[in-house]
Structure 1
Amino acid sequence: MKNLSNENLSKKDLLLIGLMLFSLFFGAGNLIFPPFLGQSAGIKTWICMGAFFITAVGFPILGVISVAKCGGLTNLAKRVNPIFAIIFTVLIYLSIGPCLGIPRAGSLPFEMVVAPYLPQGISKTLALLLYTFIFFIIAYWLSLSPAKLVDRMGKVLTPSLLILILVIFVGALFKPLGSFGEPVGEYMTCPFVKGFLDGYLTMDTIAALNFGIVIALAIKSRGVKSEKVIVSTSIKAGAIAGTLLVIIYSMLAYLGASSGERFGTTENGAQTLTNVTMYIFGKPGAVLLAVVFTLACLTTSVGLITSCSQYFQSLNNKISYKTWVRVLCVSSMTLANMGLTKILSISVPILNAIYPIALMLILLSMLDTLFNKSSIVYSLTILFTGIVSLVDSLGQVGVKLGFVTNLCSSLPFYSKGLGWVVPAVVGMLLGIALSVVKEKSVVEVG
């Protein structure tokens, strides 16, 4: 008789895992980009948000499912090429982890909602060091026991974060900010494309390739052993997390859009939220926002530290998981103290190089039954996508490759940051055609 305890997850556990997945995704970037988008897009907010949901919600959830299906990012990337799998996987874990994602999460809440309110005479450098030290001590403690993340995040941290965001939103309903303003810049001329690209900045599609294995392990820790059930549970947890993300993003976008006429254009979403909370709650609003930012960044950092430590341990069993947690916490704290500006200055080019590849890798994994998981399709699609996205990202930092750059710049949508789309489709179609020819030749020979 089948052991049902290994085949089913209780509704309570499913909800907790869904909340945990939401908290892994929802970091500081997820807090600041929707309100800034709303403020900048004004009356075109919901057009932008529709596209934003594709890259900031849809693909991240699909990424979790893809990794769960394949048993890890490395297995998914191997469908392209074994060498590509090593390079891409290491690059993903380094960029989303200790080299960019974790330090950004550690320094952003301080820079945005703590530094502006430091009393005169207190060194900002010393204050940042103290803040990040406490931040990463807590992150270290939470990361030491991955099996307990479901309870700690699902039962405590995530509900606290959701309640605080809801308090801000309800406050705006009782003390209205104003009406939606006119869109500015690209939010007026091409709102859908701009919203699509803004979704990159959350880094969630890349993070999803890390978090997939964390969610799979969390499900296994609840007694589920069947791979089929793990995948189906990942899909359900993804649906819960995705629904919450859409709701919270919509709330934040509304706050930003309705504040545009009252406060004008700000430099970033953190300033937008600061204006909103200060207007609604007065000075206590700054404290409220500081707690929200810290909770959001803490949960994301823990997820990244956990997933990266598990991956690096798999590369070298001689170094324990706990040692990797220590290394990542110390290195991330060190980089976080270099300052947010330096971290963000390198994030956009890196994201533009990696993101299209991650998007197409996830899309191919969802469609691979149509072409029998052909490595030719994977290889050509990723090759064509990667060349254009790399050339584009190099161009953003002033590196031109002569003829190659000129050729890529003539592609449709290149000026909008989507020059990789047509080559990706061409690579996929060409790969499918070649795989069909190859199958026919094998049949004929047989």
Structure 2
Amino acid sequence: MNKSLRPLDVVALGFMTFAFFLGAGNMIFPPLAGYYAGDNLLPAIAGFLLTAVGLPLLGLLAIAKASGGLPTLGRFLPKKASTLLGLVIYIILVPVFGIPRTALVAYEMGVLPFIESPGAMTLALFSLFYFAIALFFALKEGQLIDNVGKIIAPILLLLLVVVGIGVMVSPQGEIGLAQQEYATSPFAKGFLDGYMTMDALAALMFGLLIIHALRNKGINDSSKQFNYLAIAGLIAGAGLALVYIALFYLGATSHLLTPTPDNGGQIFTEYVAAIFGPVGQLVLAAVVSLACLTTAIGGISAFGDYINDLKPTIPYRKIVVVAAVSCLVIANVGLSQLISLSIPILMAVYPVAIALILLTLIADRLRNPQLSYIVTLSVALAFGLLDGMKAAGLELTSLQAIPLFDQGLAWVLPTLLALLLTAAISSRATVAGVATPEA
């Protein structure tokens, strides 16, 4: 018997997906990007939404189309390469950068404003408490839709609506002038800043988690899983887009409040305090803490599912405990250090993730998907590494001739060219009877 979700469960699934995506980077990068975008706000938002909303939606659809997680997406790659790619993405997102960052943002925006003399011990105690809660919910495998989608996410959404209305109704200044790279190439800069949310990578991780949640609700039919995942993605994407637009506008009108901001968290904190007063700090603390916590719960749970699928002999509960402890240790490095370390790595890995998503969506149209996958992803990785090295501060002036290299997008044209050429070559080879059969 094929089960179906009730309308309330479908909405809860969408809220859960939204809550998983709305984490640390979503709260701190848009205000700062909006601050620098200024009167180039619209093209900057367009570029940002493409990588921070559009790509995650495509990623969820790719997961749904492949009826599985990263192992299924990489099915046309050599097994070891597919497994390595999945491990790299999950390790970046969970124990190394993504989930530790959620704790640090929650700490800096939700705790520090209320503490007079914080120190290393304060952070250690907070991160211990934070990951204990995340682990508690992650251990309740099979109850994520009920716990996150029906309880935590609606509270988070209500708080965000309050903040968003406040920002739009009571702006704290005029839109400022565009600065730095946003003055010359706002769309490209917004596109790259969308990387920092890690949401396109997160879609590859959370897609499998959502499928597991559907299976726990008795939804085993692949077509129904695709439909529910698509609906959840649309709900999450609409929510994220509204949040980003509000936060960009917040940043663009914050020049009087924060003439020289250190980070987006500072802009967000001072803006909300100016609108709502002392109560605003409490509202912001609740918003940030819940947003980051839901992402941590989802990330740790997804990591447990992924490793357990790879190695069924390792119990899920043991995996999530180890993941939570690893996140706890890394979180005590500090937010600034973590962000500076993550930028070059994201610049290198993101092109591969984007190419993988696009390849999955058109895989059934490729005559020789093995060839297209291997060549296209290899080219994306090679040029992504160049972008990563540039972001790390290495002098690569000899490579300036590469199109879009100066904008951090050296991978775009070579990757598209590799995809088109392999599609054409494999098509001709098929006519000659050489290519492998269509999968």
Q: TM-score range by the shorter chain?
A: over 0.9
2:20 match: 24
> What secondary structure is seen at the aligned counterpart in 2 of 1:442?
coil
Cα distance in 2 between the residues matched to 1:259 and 1:398: 29
**C-alpha RMSD of the superposition:** 2.0
The 10-residue stretch of structure 1 (347-356 or 312-321) with the greater mean CA deviation from structure 2: 312-321
Q: Is this contact kept in 2: 1:40–1:260, CA < 8 A?
A: no
The match for 1:207 among 199, 202, 218 is 202
Alignment CA distance shift 1:12-1:282 (3 Å): same
d(CA) in 2 for partners of 1:214 and 1:141?
17
- 8 Å Cα contact 1:113-1:270 kept in structure 2: no
Matching of residues 26-425 of structure 1 within 5 Å: 26-70=22-66, 71-120=68-117, 123-372=118-367, 374-398=369-393, 408-425=399-416
AA matched with 1:438: A
For structure 2, the 5+ residue unaligned runs are none
- Normalising by structure 1, we get a TM-score of 0.93
Q: After the TM superposition, which of the residue ranges 32-41 and 139-148 deviates more from structure 2?
A: 32-41
The 8 Å contact of residues 188 and 407 in structure 2, kept in 1 or not, is answered as yes
Separation in structure 1 between the aligned mates of residue 159 and residue 259 of structure 2, nearest angstrom: 25
Contact kept? 1:161, 1:295, Cα under 8 Å: yes
Deviation at 1:287, TM superposition (A): 2.3
Q: CA deviation at 1:435?
A: 0.6
Q: Within the alignment, does 1:433 sit opposite 2:424 as a pair? A: yes
Contact 1:113 1:274 in 2 (8 A): no
Q: Which whole-Å CA distance do the structure 2 matches of 1:423 and 1:151 have between them?
A: 45
- Describe the SS at the equivalent of 1:324: helix
TM, length-normalised to structure 2: 0.94
Instruction: Check whether the contact 2:367–2:423 (CA below 8 A) recurs between aligned residues.
Output: no
Q: CA deviation at 1:137?
A: 0.8
Inter-CA distance 86–176: structure 2 relative to 1 (3 Å threshold): closer
Cα 1:275–1:371 change in 2 (3 A) is: same
CA distance in 2, matches of 1:416, 1:340: 25
Between the two proteins, what is the percent identity of the paired residues?
A: 36
State the secondary structure of the residue aligned to 2:143.
helix
What whole-Å deviation, never above 9, does each CA across 1:266-313 have from its counterpart, x for those lacking one?
A: 122111111111111222322221221111110001111001111112
1:15 Cα deviation from its structure 2 partner: 0.8
Alpha-carbon offset, residue 39 of structure 1: 1.7
CA-CA distance at 1:342 after TM superposition = 2.2
Gaps of 5+ in 1: none
- Structure 1 window deviating more from structure 2 (389-398 vs 245-254): it is 389-398
Offset of residue 387 of structure 1: 0.5
Q: How many residues align?
A: 436
Partners of 1:317 and 1:432 lie apart in 2 by 36
Which aligned segments of 4 or more residues in structure 1 are displaced greater than 6 angstroms? none
CA–CA separation in structure 1 for the residues paired with 2:351 and 2:260: 30
The AA in structure 1 aligned to 2:342 is: S
Structure 2 SS opposite 1:209: helix
Q: 1: CA distance between counterparts of 2:352 and 2:323?
A: 25
Amino acid at match of 2:144: L
Q: Partners in 2 of 1:67 and 1:166 — Cα distance?
A: 30
Deviations 1:100-129 (A, max 9, x none): 111111122213442354223xx5111101
CA apart distance, 1:145:
1.5
Q: Which amino acid aligns with 2:112?
A: A
Aligned residues of 2:387 and 2:409 also touching (Cα < 8 A):
no
Q: How far apart are residue 64 of structure 1 and its match? A: 1.4
Partner AA of 2:424 in structure 1: A
Q: Does the CA contact (< 8 Å) of 1:78 and 1:84 recur in 2? A: no
Task: Give the CA deviation at 1:20.
Answer: 0.5
1:438 and 1:68 map into 2 onto residues whose CA distance is 30
Quote the residue 1:10 is aligned against: 6
1:172: how far off?
3.4
Mapped to 1, the partners of 2:397 and 2:227 lie a distance apart of 45
